[in-house]
Amino acid sequence: MKKTVLAILAAAALAAAPAFAQFEGELSMKMTMREGSGTGRAYVSAAGTRSELDIQTAQAPFKMTTIMKVSNPDVMYMINDEQKSYAEVDLKKIKEQAAKYRDKSKETWSVKKLGKETVNGYSCEHAIVTRAEDAKSEQELWTSKDVSGLSYESMRGLMRRGNESDDGMMKALRDAGVDGFVVKRIMREKGNPVPVATMELTKVEKKSLKAALFEIPAGYTKKEGMMGAASVMAPPGANDEMRKAMEGLSPEQRKQIEEMMKRQQPAK
């Protein structure tokens, strides 16, 4: 479940792209995964972006809030309201580490147009997007240019923010004439009709937002390091088990775990 949730987080955490300065309001989404289902909300203003996920699974509920500020665009703040804690994720560092493993300038994107369809009242272009270097997965997209003036470029933060923007994918969509706002997105393994995850826009509402939405609540404790970030993401009750497990480790073993998590992070 962890990788799926991270993919959803990457897709739901809106980046403070310049185009967002023209839009202020709230976007609502519904999400389904193999492990469960839930909802997401994104708040967008000139100050930054905020996303809230509420996912129900058979194992445990998962709730997470992320904030990105225009004033500090290279940091994503992960907030756990139940713990009253937060962690900072250095997106610039993740981008630099990812570049060592993946040269996006050499990627080849392909777009298969499937025609026009209406999704939740929006006229959309339907397409399947694949990357030649990835033989295991594909994305099915429904994009529209009728969503409050928003575009794919303005939503590029939905596409793997922190692992570099998908410039190649964006260009491929534009060249194929199917660029626009992503109204619906399905991620799946090639050859398997069952989606890994599905995200679907359900509502867009233009309105004024309070500045406090884009700030860390007063009194919340900052969790340091990769283990701190992991604890912020943990579902209810998991932190007690994590704490007990960590208590039995030596300082050297804890350091090894942190180093292992750092190596794994860029690939997510």
Q: Look up residue 133 and give its two tokens.
A: 């270097």
Topology (CATH) of 2-214: outer membrane lipoprotein receptor (LolB), chain A (2.50.20)
Segments of the chain scoring below 70 in pLDDT: 1-22, 98, 101-106, 149-167, 225-268
Write out pLDDT tens, residues 83-100.
Answer: 888 988 888 877 777 677
Strands (E), the chain: 25-33, 36-45, 48-57, 62-69, 72-80, 85-90, 109-119, 122-131, 137-144, 181-189, 197-206, 221-222
Encode 242-253: b = buried (16+ Cβ within 10 Å), e = exposed: eeeeeeeeeeee
Write out pLDDT tens, residues 231-251.
Answer: 566 555 544 444 455 455 566
Dihedral of CA 260/133/127/144: which sign? positive
d(C-alpha 36, C-alpha 60), whole Å: 10
Q: Look up residue 245 and give its two tokens.
A: 């497990």
Contact 78/63 with Cβ under 8 angstroms? no
Task: Give the global pTM.
Answer: 0.72
The predicted structure's pLDDT at residue 110: 92
